[in-house]
């Protein structure tokens, strides 16, 4: 009997989520939803107790959030929720303008009809979120719009760079709107 090759139907379609990712998402959400405010100290032991996880998981998440610009390790007092200064905001928006301009230009050149339909849908979802006025829904709809643009641009390097800015941009938007 000849063995048949395994095809794509054999693949398990699930996204495994690690404890580190769960902790990261919880802390990021707490910052973005203002459960943790700019300047708040992030005491590892308190976070471990509140999240029910080890210090290693919390430390890894805090370091990741530092790379996203949401957490600062500014002094010997330990990590705190980032405070974005006016100079930071200017730097963020300058870089955002350059990258988004490139992404939009590439989207107009490379987007397929399905990408254009997805962009129209994302724009309508954003309009609806703005009408309803729920901050998190607005932030999510804007992120969805950008996801479509990034995918349709076809430039994965530029998309990766812009995604690395997204947490800071979203945080800046949220702190500006609130």
Tokens of 153: 């641009």
Query: Which of 152, 148, 130, 149 has the alpha carbon at shortest distance from 139?
Result: 130
Task: Return per-residue pLDDT of the chain as tens, 178 residues.
Answer: 566 565 555 555 556 688 889 999 999 989 988 899 999 999 999 999 999 999 999 999 999 999 888 999 977 889 999 998 899 999 999 999 999 999 999 999 999 999 999 999 999 999 999 999 888 899 889 889 999 999 999 999 999 888 888 878 878 877 776 5
- pLDDT value at residue 131: 95
> Taking the CA atoms of the chain, what radius of gyration do you get in angstroms?
20
Rounded Cα gap, residues 17 and 51, in angstroms: 16
Rounded Cα gap, residues 153 and 132, in angstroms: 30
Q: Dihedrals φ, ψ of 45, to 5°?
A: -60, -40
- pLDDT value at residue 15: 65
List the alpha helices (DSSP H) in 6-134.
Answer: 19-32, 44-51, 55-67, 86-110, 113-132
Domains, the chain: 10-81 (1.10.10.10), 86-177 (1.20.120.530)
- pLDDT value at residue 4: 58
65 burial via Cβ count (<10 Å: 0-12, 13-18, 19+): buried
- pLDDT value at residue 43: 94
- pLDDT value at residue 174: 76
Q: Is the whole-model pTM more than 0.85? A: no
- pLDDT value at residue 161: 87
């Amino acid at each position: 009997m000849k063995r048949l090759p395994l095809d794509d139907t054999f693949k398990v379609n699930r996204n495994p989520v690690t404890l580190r990712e769960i902790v990261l998402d919880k802390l990021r959400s707490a910052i973005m939803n203002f459960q943790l405010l700019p300047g708040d100290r992030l005491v590892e032991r308190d976070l471990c107790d509140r999240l029910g996880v080890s210090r290693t998981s919390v430390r890894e998440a805090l370091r990741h959030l530092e790379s996203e610009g949401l957490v600062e390790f500014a002094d010997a007092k330990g990590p705190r929720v980032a405070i974005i200064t006016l100079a930071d905001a200017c730097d963020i928006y300058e870089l955002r303008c350059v990258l988004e301009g490139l992404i939009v230009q590439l989207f107009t050149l490379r987007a397929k009809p399905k990408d254009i339909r997805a962009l129209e849908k994302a724009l309508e979802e954003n309009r609806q979120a703005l009408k309803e006025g729920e901050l998190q829904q607005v932030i999510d709809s804007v992120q969805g719009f950008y996801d479509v643009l990034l995918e349709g641009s076809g430039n994965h390097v530029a998309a990766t760079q812009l995604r690395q800015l997204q947490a800071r941009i979203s945080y800046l938007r949220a702190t500006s709107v609130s």
